[in-house]
Amino acid sequence: MIATENLVPYSKTQLSIFKTAQLAPIKDLKLLVKDYTPIAKNALTILINISTDPEILKSLAEDDALLESVFIRITNPKEPNADLLSMLLSNLAKSDSLARLLTLTRPAVPALSAATTSLPTRKTENAINQLLALFNAGVHGNYNADATFEHLAYVFADLAKYPDVATHLANTTRENAPLLAILTPHTHPPTLPLPLRLGSVSTIRNTLLAIPNPLTHISALVPHILPSLLLPLIGPDPSFSEQETDLLPPELQLLGPEQRRETDFRVLREIVEAVFLILARCGEGSEEGEEGKGLEVREMVKVTGAYAVLREFHLGVEDEDVREGVERCVQLLMGGEEAEEMLEREREGRVTEVVDDEVGGEGLVGKEGKVLDSGGTMIQGENYKREESDSEDEKMVEVF
């Protein structure tokens, strides 16, 4: 134990000492994950910190035995290091090899099956479904008293950038709702931990961007995800008319003075981009016989009162990127020139309603539609970094 404890500071400052002798120290640390709790804690802390290195990340993420060891322990309701295991998984999810979780099957965990109704009980379970069930059952400490599993939200966000995973999250149902809906209760309020909020909205956003056949999938997702995207944009006592309030989903009506708008601009950017993707991707190349579905999706968004929410939010937001994102959403939702006139009047404090189905505006996610990852590679859940190119280094969870 003393040896591993002494090595923890070096995992932050002298990563090279763990890369000697063809990564021999990494092999030892993998074994120590299965040791006594204090030793395993130190080993996990080191692995989390040094997984920022591409060579080490590859060694960890492609190791099936390590992955199985992580799953065995993280699904144990008495595992004291479960949150460290969640953090390690969130870093490993930066590797493309973790996409294999979609096809990886694991034995069912009786305690987990008893704690959740996420999916029907089976003798074996899809690994992603097992993590979703764990997240659903334990995010508030109800499954493991020593863990909240909030960093699993980052795992889902990074995996959602793969079309097959995005399709799985959108298509597989639990209680007549897509699996993606497991994350919707955790987008708000802002008192929830940042990894939970940011990871949840990033999963939704990446699913919307990566999913194929958007006309079919997004139209089915909108009723389940849109309220959870709009709620964080609403402040206390919003200035909605009675007619506008009636359009809102029931859970967004009659919000009291305790309602708080999301304050973290990283979360807000992901939310606004998700709303934009709903509106923009439903206009992509229509499948045969579905030419009108894109307009139907926009109308679906419009009749849920999204315009009123975006209008009020735009009046108070300070971040320029978020403001511009809201304006692009309104352009798609309400129409080009008239929407611009409305926005100008908003800036002057004279808000008028616009009703127009014309579509205009440019995208938020760039001409190539690059998937931005969750930002789940974080230091102590604080250092979020948006990825602007494939060549940029990704920040990852580090434990101090």
229-265 pLDDT per residue, tens: 999 999 988 888 899 999 999 989 888 888 999 999 9
- The per-residue pLDDT for range 9-28, each reduced to its tens digit, is 999 999 999 999 999 999 99
User: pLDDT > 90: what percent of the chain?
Assistant: 61
Residue among 140, 141, 138, 107 at smallest CA distance from 124: 107
Kindly tell me if the per-residue pLDDT of 98 is higher than 90: yes
- The per-residue pLDDT for range 166-199, each reduced to its tens digit, is 999 998 777 778 999 999 999 999 999 999 999 9
- Provide the residue type at 135 as one letter: F
Three-state DSSP class for residue 165: helix
- The per-residue pLDDT for range 35-70, each reduced to its tens digit, is 999 999 999 999 999 999 999 999 999 999 999 999
Report pLDDT for 386.
35
Report pLDDT for 344.
64
Residue 330 or residue 392, greater confidence: 330
User: pLDDT > 70: what percent of the chain?
Assistant: 78
- pLDDT level of residue 341 (50, 70, 90 thresholds): low
Residue among 205, 189, 108 at smallest CA distance from 156: 205
Distance CA 57, CA 91 (A): 8
Kindly tell me if the per-residue pLDDT of 385 is higher than 50: no
Residue 289 or residue 137, greater confidence: 137
Residue among 185, 168, 158, 151 at smallest CA distance from 74: 151
Q: Secondary structure of the chain: what % helix, strand, coil (to 5)? A: 55, 5, 40
DSSP letter (8 states) at residue 125: E
Residue among 147, 97, 161, 84 at smallest CA distance from 127: 97
- Cβ–Cβ under 8 Å, residues 312 and 300: no
Report pLDDT for 119.
52
The model carries a pTM of: 0.84
- Provide the residue type at 334 as one letter: M
For residue 24, what are the contacts with CB-CB under 8 A and spacing of at least 6? Answer: none
